[in-house]
Amino acid sequence: MEEIRVGGMYFSLDLSLPLYEQVLEQVRSSIAKGEIALGDKIPSVRELAQALKINPNTVMRAYQELEREQLTETRRGQGTYITSDIAKVDLIRYRVADKAIEEFLSKMTGLGFETPEIDKLLRIKRGEAHE
Amino acid sequence: MNDTANVAIRAEDVCKSYGSRQAIRNLNMAVPAHSVTAILGPNGAGKSTLMRMITGMETPDTGTFSVLGRKPSWELNRWIAYLPDRAQWYSHHMVEHALEWARTLQPGFNEMRARDLMVTLDLDASMKVEGMSKGEEARLMLALCLARDVPLLVLDEPFSGIDMISRERIVAALIDSFSEREQTVLISTHEIAETESLFDYAVFVDKGVAVLAGDVERMRAERGSLQQVYRQLYG
């Protein structure tokens, strides 16, 4: 999977999974990581579709969802901007973090670890405990 | 999808034979309006026959087609921009003449858009059609199709045998075109890997039958990429 940089955001799309969800997720994560700053303009639907070589409808759907979540706002005739409300971005940061934790836990459970062991391994990793 | 407003092309139990060879056998499909739909399948699956029937160049032996709510005909073709799989050109023509021809004979031809497309597709108006590479010729043909303000665009193998750079330019021109207007687009292609991200609906054809059709994002969720589905079906 090729990583594509568009206006500060990074995308890497897997054609075997729905593209809409990936575009949405990757813009959210760019916002959460601060790759794109509060109040910044994001690429137009056409620009992003061109950069990712995907159907503009897919980008449009993802942008509509971001707007619905109030992470972006469209100013008539000017384009789409990231919200300047830090509380909204923080909420997304926690949501992205929550998802990362869930993925981590599911991987650990898959390897046969249970909660006390996982806790211990995390403490060891942070240097708070010894093997 | 029973509403003609939601369906741009509908085929019902269509059959077509050439002598003893059955090119299309009881084919059924419904192409959603304003979708970018792929017609996929191996050589000889019946893709070009299907497109020629949609544009009224061939008539089904049995069954019916409804295109933009009407029966395919020459009359209906004023609403369709069609790129056939085999192009025929007057070789003494220059690109400029091709534009003139399109302006005179092609309903809905938008010359300003055509000139913009020539820039995107890196074509020069003073070029002679004779001596053009296959890629240049394909780009010219596509420019003439995309420059028409019509509700239906039918492209038969627009990428086959075309170099990578021409193909990328064509993809870019298509994405621009999809962003600018609401048009139903039907594309048959073998180049699935490079083009599958463009489609929102796909019809897989095998031996004259539509074996699978559906929303591409749903196929991705349920079965993987179009390339993977293609391998599952034909591999």
Q: Is residue A54 part of a domain?
A: yes
CATH of the domain at A60: 1.10.10.10
- Cβ-Cβ contacts under 8 Å, B171 against chain A: 53
| Pair type for strands B201-206 and B36-40 | parallel
* pLDDT given at position B160: 80
Q: What residues in B contact A16, CB-CB < 8 Å?
A: 220, 224-225, 228
Residue B63 forms part of a structural domain? yes
Residues A113 and A63 in one domain: no
Kindly state whether residues A43 and A96 are assigned to the same domain.
no
pLDDT score, position A52: 96
Q: Given its phi and psi angles, is residue B165 left (phi above 0), alpha (psi -120 to 50 degrees) or beta?
A: alpha
CA angle at residue B38 from B79 to B140, to 5 degrees?
Answer: 60
How deeply is B199 buried, as exposed, middle or buried, from its count of CB atoms within 10 A (0-12, 13-18, 19+)?
Answer: buried
Smallest CA–CA separation between A120 and chain B, in Å?
Answer: 37
C-beta separation of A15 from B226 below 8 A: yes
Query: Do residue A20 and residue A62 come from a single domain?
Result: yes
Domain that holds residue A52: 4-84
Q: How many domains does chain A have?
A: 2
Whether A45 is in a domain gets the answer yes
**For position B71, what pLDDT does the model report?**
95
Residue numbers in A near B179 (CB within 8 A): 45-46, 49, 56
The segments of chain A whose pLDDT lies below 70 read 1, 130-131
Residue B103 belongs to a domain: no
Comparing CA positions, the residue from B98, B100, B220, B120 lying closest to residue B180 is B120
Mean pLDDT of B167-182: 90
**Per-residue confidence at B1, pLDDT binned at 50, 70, 90?**
very low
Domain range for B218 is: 7-86+150-234
Query: Is there a contact between A52 and A15 (Cβ–Cβ < 8 Å)?
Result: no
Cβ pair B198:A19 closer than 8 A? no
- One domain for residues A73 and A117: no
- The residues with which B205 forms a beta bridge, in sequence order, are B210
Whether A18 is in a domain gets the answer yes
Closest CA to B144 of B94, B110, B188, B181: B110
**A22 and A56 part of one domain:** yes
Rg of chain A in Å (alpha carbons): 18
Asked whether residue A97 falls in the same domain as residue A43, the answer is: no
